[in-house]
Amino acid sequence: MLQAEQQEASTVAIDGREFPLINISDVPTPPLKIARGGAVYTYTKSYPLKGYGAIFPQDAEAFINEGRQILLARRGDRLYVYLTGGTGATKEDAEAEA
């Protein structure tokens, strides 16, 4: 689990909503879980940086309707989505999208 308490977060506006965004480019592999602000976020999926805006807003709406909080993490040319609650993806899913 990545402890991201000290890592500075920016925000990114997508489809009229703001989401916290951290940079995880300095970690060797994308973590399955990130601890930040007293919450534990679990990896759920990733999108290519080019084109995520077409799909992510619908997914984000569904996550929010489920009562989950969203943390975005940028690494290389991918945008990783981490959510509170639920079990998230498996390690194999994370490695397949890396």
How many other CB atoms sit within 10 Å of the CB of residue 46?
22
- Assess whether pLDDT exceeds 80 at residue 94: no
pTM of the model: 0.81
Over the stretch 50-90, which tens digit does the pLDDT of each residue have? Answer: 877 778 899 999 999 999 999 999 999 999 999 998 654 44
How many other CB atoms sit within 10 Å of the CB of residue 49?
13
Is residue 81 a contact partner of residue 45, using CB atoms and an 8 Å limit?
A: yes
